[in-house]
């Protein structure tokens, strides 16, 4: 049975001119062939890594910079060129890239080492083995043949925050145990003061070299957007000023190129869905709102049940009073909700942490405030727009099967 309406919709979709030529170019995991406005940094990285081609261990390198400032891109770009040369000259240089933030992949000591070992071709189960054994397996594959390994640890600050800096110490020291292989480390961090909290011995051996990536300014962002847009969109579908506007938006947010590209992509998608032949300025505003809305709702849906109960308690408190509320009030309301839902309530200690997490996620704004004789508490406000609060509550109620 064919649905004529749907068929019609699909057919007009096909018949319509597609705005995108290659949408991939705007997605975050896309690696362009040219890295715009990062010549200086890629040169530096290249100089530091070049000794690898003579099988000398390059200095360990530490790369800092805010999100979307091109760190990962530049490092990977340089490494790719390096391994191309190495492959052509038959030099045994191997590169492994691990993102330490990826949950369930590389966010603990065990998983990080296991992940690296897997990249080197060693099968390692997701759990069950003692960490020591994983280390042994790891050093064994590593030392199996003569080679030079360049190990990139992205978002290394996340890893250290979670598990401490011993892993880094072990990794910087691993060369002493290896007979045939040498390992060079590249750490990438969003957190500029991260290294200050490291143990001195780790810090000195990890950051033998340092490169700092400054945020892009609006003009640079424009260039980046233009170069990507040229690949991603078809000729002439961008209204003049669109690129500039995207760049301006992103420049306001500490020059995050990723944001700028996302904005442009979503604006394009909106235009396409509305059947517009051109990406107009107005779509950028809509795109910004849409991105924000989806970010918030995605976060809410992804939260564990207990977090959702806490959040719902928080939101419902805001119906009554518009000003800030305290941890204690939320906890009381939360306990009521739990009994109503048949959940076992968590302790206040835990709720305190959950509120801190929600703060990190940008759903709420929490400020620790001392009110003298009246104690000390988080002063909590909602960080999302009013019309979204209503929708958020509905989502939560559905998730919790409330009412």
Partner DNA sequence: GTCAATTCACATGAAAGAGACCACGGTCTAGTG
Partner DNA sequence: CTAGACCGTGGTCTCTTTCATGTGAATTGACGA
389 contributes a contact to DNA by CB under 7 A: no
Cβ contact 175:183 at 8 Å: yes
Q: Which of 130, 200, 236, 342 binds DNA (CB under 7 A)?
A: 130
CB of 354 to DNA, least distance (A): 7
# residues near DNA by CB under 7 A: 42
- Among the candidate windows 72-80, 120-128, 174-182, 281-289, which touches DNA by CB under 7 A? 120-128
CB of 332 to DNA, least distance (A): 9
Quote the distance between the C-alpha of residue 242 and its chain's center: 26
Tell me which residue of 237, 240, 242, 260 sits closest to 250, measured CA to CA.
Answer: 260
Q: Which of 7, 9, 126, 390 binds DNA (CB under 7 A)?
A: 126
CB of 209 to DNA, least distance (A): 30
Cβ contact 325:315 at 8 Å: no
107 contributes a contact to DNA by CB under 7 A: yes
Cβ contact 75:58 at 8 Å: no
Tell me the HSE value of 100 on the side-chain side, using a 13 A CA sphere: 26
- Among the candidate windows 46-54, 67-75, 320-328, 334-342, which touches DNA by CB under 7 A? 320-328
Element containing residue 372 per DSSP (H, E): none
CB of 30 to DNA, least distance (A): 28
Q: Which of 1, 54, 90, 374 binds DNA (CB under 7 A)?
A: 374
Measure the CA–CA gap between 133 and 138, rounded to whole angstroms. Answer: 8
Measure the CA–CA gap between 398 and 77, rounded to whole angstroms. Answer: 45
Measure the CA–CA gap between 334 and 332, rounded to whole angstroms. Answer: 5
321 contributes a contact to DNA by CB under 7 A: no
List of E strands, 61-137 = 61-65, 93-99
Cβ contact 363:300 at 8 Å: yes
Tell me which residue of 47, 51, 50, 28 sits closest to 39, measured CA to CA.
Answer: 47
Measure the CA–CA gap between 98 and 31, rounded to whole angstroms. Answer: 16
193 contributes a contact to DNA by CB under 7 A: no
Q: Which of 6, 54, 125, 193 binds DNA (CB under 7 A)?
A: 125
Nearer residue to DNA within complex by CB, 81 or 197: 197
β-partners of residue 65 are 213
403 contributes a contact to DNA by CB under 7 A: no
CB of 341 to DNA, least distance (A): 13
Cα 41 to Cα 65, 108, 214, distances in angstroms: 12, 30, 10
Measure the CA–CA gap between 21 and 183, rounded to whole angstroms. Answer: 41
What Rg value do the Cα atoms of the chain yield, rounded? 25
274 to 313: interface string for DNA, x by CB under 7 A: ------------------------------x-x-------
Q: Which of 49, 238, 327, 393 binds DNA (CB under 7 A)?
A: 327
329 contributes a contact to DNA by CB under 7 A: yes
- Among the candidate windows 63-71, 126-134, 210-218, 235-243, which touches DNA by CB under 7 A? 126-134
155 to 174: interface string for DNA, x by CB under 7 A: --------------------
355 contributes a contact to DNA by CB under 7 A: yes
127 contributes a contact to DNA by CB under 7 A: yes
CB of 114 to DNA, least distance (A): 8
Tell me which residue of 188, 211, 178, 167 sits closest to 57, measured CA to CA.
Answer: 178
Tell me which residue of 364, 363, 352 sits closest to 299, measured CA to CA.
Answer: 363
At residue 10, φ and ψ (nearest 5 deg) are -65, -40
Cβ contact 379:369 at 8 Å: yes
Q: Which of 94, 337, 378, 393 binds DNA (CB under 7 A)?
A: 378
CB of 308 to DNA, least distance (A): 11
365 contributes a contact to DNA by CB under 7 A: no
CB of 290 to DNA, least distance (A): 28
Nearer residue to DNA within complex by CB, 255 or 345: 345
- Among the candidate windows 107-115, 148-156, 216-224, 241-249, which touches DNA by CB under 7 A? 107-115
370 contributes a contact to DNA by CB under 7 A: yes
* Residues within the interface to DNA (CB under 7 A): 103-104, 107-111, 125-131, 304, 306, 326-329, 344-350, 352-356, 368, 370-378
């Amino acid at each position: 049975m064919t649905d004529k309406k749907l068929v019609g919709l699909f057919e007009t979709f096909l018949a319509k001119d597609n705005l995108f030529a290659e949408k991939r170019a705007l997605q975050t995991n896309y690696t362009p062939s040219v890295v715009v406005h990062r010549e200086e940094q890629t040169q530096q990285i290249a100089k530091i890594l070049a000794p690898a081609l003579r099988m000398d261990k390059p200095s360990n390198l530490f790369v800092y910079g805010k999100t979307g400032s091109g760190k990962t891109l530049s490092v990977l770009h340089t490494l790719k060129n390096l391994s191309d040369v190495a492959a052509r000259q038959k030099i045994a240089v191997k590169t492994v890239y691990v993102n330490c933030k990826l949950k369930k992949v590389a966010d603990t000591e065990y998983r990080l080492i296991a992940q690296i070992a897997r990249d080197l071709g060693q099968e390692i189960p997701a759990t069950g083995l003692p960490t020591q054994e994983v280390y042994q397996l790891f050093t064994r594959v590593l030392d199996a043949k003569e080679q030079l390994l360049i190990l990139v640890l992205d978002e290394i600050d996340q890893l250290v925050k979670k598990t401490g800096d011993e892993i880094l110490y072990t990794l910087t020291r691993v060369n002493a145990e290896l007979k045939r292989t040498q390992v060079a480390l590249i750490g990438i961090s969003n957190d500029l003061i991260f290294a200050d909290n490291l143990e001195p011995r780790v810090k000195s051996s990890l950051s033998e070299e340092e490169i700092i990536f400054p945020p892009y300014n609006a003009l640079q962002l424009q260039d980046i957007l233009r170069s990507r847009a040229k690949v991603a969109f078809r000729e002439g579908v961008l209204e003049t000023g669109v690129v500039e506007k995207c760049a301006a938006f992103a420049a306001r947010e500490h020059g995050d190129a990723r944001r700028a590209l996302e904005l442009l992509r979503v604006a394009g998608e909106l235009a396409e869905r509305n059947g517009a032949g051109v990406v107009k300025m107005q779509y950028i505003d809509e795109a910004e709102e849409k991105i924000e809305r989806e970010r918030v709702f995605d976060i809410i849906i992804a939260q564990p049940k207990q977090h959702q109960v806490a959040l719902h308690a928080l939101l419902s408190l805001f119906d009554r009073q518009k000003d800030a509320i305290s941890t204690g009030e939320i906890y009381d309301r939360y306990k009521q909700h739990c009994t109503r839902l048949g959940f076992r309530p968590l302790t206040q200690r835990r709720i305190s942490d959950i509120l801190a997490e929600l703060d990190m996620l940008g759903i709420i704004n929490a400020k620790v405030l001392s009110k003298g004789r009246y104690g000390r508490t988080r002063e909590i406000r909602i960080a999302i727009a009013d019309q979204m609060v209503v929708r958020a509550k509905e989502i939560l109620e559905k998730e919790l099967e409330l009412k």
